Amino acid sequence: MKNKIEIIIARYDELSQLLTEPAVMNNQNKLKETAREHSQLTVIVEKGREYLSVCQQIADDEEILSGDDADLKEIAQEELADLKEQKNTLEAELKVILLPKDPNDDKNTIVEIRAGTGGEEAALFAADLYRMYIHYAERNNWMSEVMNVNETGIGGYKEIIFSMTGKGAFGLMKYESGVHRVQRVPKTETGGRVHTSAATVAVLPEAEEAEVDINENDLKIDTFRASGAGGQHVNKTESAIRITHIPSGLVVSCQDEKSQHQNRLLAMKVLRSRLLAQEQERLAQERADVRKSMVSTGDRSAKIRTYNFPQGRITDHRINYTAYNLEDVMNGNIVELIEQLKLAEQQELLAGD
């Protein structure tokens, strides 16, 4: 551990020096890359320096114990127990900090919510999930933007795609990918019976243009008139865009903006992110690195969570976590859920070391 920390600190100091050099400062891409690595190492370096300091104090006290000064030996003996406890605590914290980090964690994210089984009630639940995530974004001071929406007549969503822009957005939201199940009495139910419905959530890291090379000749672009509730542009101009990526078969539609140009930009952003996610999944499978745990998988065929309204209960099936604060969760307070999922993932990674 000590040697690893010393290497990281040396790299951090090297990056600090690079950030002051004109060759880096005048190259925006190099500056951004260097600053990002420097920022990622800051937490490790701060904790690492504290750890090295404690290690040095232990070494000093052990040297005193081998000497002849009885008073100093007594003081050193008293200090050692506390210092060794500090060392063990810092080592445990550093092991977690040093776990391999998903390079996508700091990216912005694109979230796709679709109504599943359950008809109109599933669409209403999809809208509830969207509002839950928007409230969560507000708590994190993230920006959000609807990219495409397909509404139903009574306030539900057959599909809604939106972006979340802010520090660590994908790293926190990635745990939400999967099937979300709801148990409640639907608004459309007159007999008071509890129904079970579902919605799927897909969370994608937002791809930068440089990460995904798209050949314009591989795209089939169609325009059509927007539909649904909206402003004057709806059903009057062909502002909506549908892009088909021929090699992959992926189709992206966007109609929420007033201009064809804006819709095309948003549709391309979604397409790039889907292609990036597809490529990363392919590479992970090739390397046999796809983890079987449901903690971080993006497998949308797996039921990950149940929202039971009659009992005010929420259960995450991946980690057998149950809480009775459903109303609070639906208002965007999913911090505890995500923290529990992160902790489970960390414990699994540590057990695999």
Q: What b/e string do you get for 72-103 counting C-beta neighbours within 10 Å, with b at 16 or more?
A: eeeebeeebeebeebbeebeeebeeebeeeee
User: Mapping DSSP to helix (H, G, I), strand (E, B) and coil, where does residue 25 land?
Assistant: helix
Model pLDDT, residue 333: 96
Model pLDDT, residue 225: 76
Model pLDDT, residue 325: 96
Residue whose pair of structure tokens reads 């190099």 in the numeric block: 30
Model pLDDT, residue 171: 92
Q: State the alpha helices, DSSP H only, in the chain.
A: 2-18, 22-25, 28-65, 70-97, 119-139, 169-173, 260-286, 326-330, 335-352
Please answer whether residues 228 and 150 qualify as being in contact, where contact means their C-beta atoms are separated by less than 8 angstroms: yes
**Other CB atoms within 10 Å distance of the CB of residue 316:** 21
Please answer whether residues 120 and 154 qualify as being in contact, where contact means their C-beta atoms are separated by less than 8 angstroms: yes
Model pLDDT, residue 210: 59
Q: Report the mean per-residue pLDDT for the chain.
A: 86
Residue 264 CA to residue 258 CA, distance in Å, equals 11
Model pLDDT, residue 295: 40
DSSP 322-338: EES-HHHHHTT--HHHH
Tell me the pTM.
0.70
Query: Amino acid identity, residue 243?
Result: I
Domains with residue ranges and CATH for the chain? 2-97 (no CATH), 109-210+296-352 (3.30.70.1660), 212-286 (3.30.160.20)
Residue 6 CA to residue 143 CA, distance in Å, equals 38
Residue-wise pLDDT tens for the chain (353 aa)? 889 899 999 999 999 999 999 998 999 889 988 998 898 899 999 999 999 999 999 999 888 888 888 888 888 888 898 999 999 999 988 988 888 788 888 889 999 999 998 889 999 999 999 999 999 999 999 999 998 899 988 889 999 999 999 988 999 999 999 999 999 998 767 677 889 999 999 998 887 765 677 888 888 988 887 765 544 444 456 788 899 999 888 999 888 777 888 888 888 888 988 888 887 777 666 544 433 443 443 344 568 999 999 999 999 999 999 999 999 999 999 999 999 999 898 888 887 65
